[in-house]
Amino acid sequence: MVGLSADVIEAFQHQKFRENVRQFKRIIEELVLTTKKSGYITLNRAKAAIDQLAFENEKKNSCPAI
């Protein structure tokens, strides 16, 4: 078991950090799925996946909650 510093534990408690971790996980999952289908992934495909998630995040953060 690896111990976490107080700074890391505090960072995990912030919602924005958790959202970024979830987005990063989605990026990795997308890249893994693409790699499994084709056996490789192009740099353009990886960039497209990252750009799409960034767009979704920006759209979500710019819309006020109702």
Q: How many domains does the chain have?
A: 1
Tens digit of pLDDT at every position of the chain (66 positions): 456 677 777 776 777 777 877 888 887 887 777 777 766 667 777 778 778 877 887 777 776 554
Let me know if residue 1 belongs to a domain.
no
- 3-state SS of the chain is CCCCCHHHHHHHCCHHHHHHHHHHHHHHHHHHHHHHHHCCCCHHHHHHHHHHHHHHHHHHHHCCCC
Let me know if residue 58 belongs to a domain.
yes
Q: According to the model, what pLDDT value does residue 1 have?
A: 44
Let me know if residue 14 belongs to a domain.
yes
Range of the domain at 29: 6-62
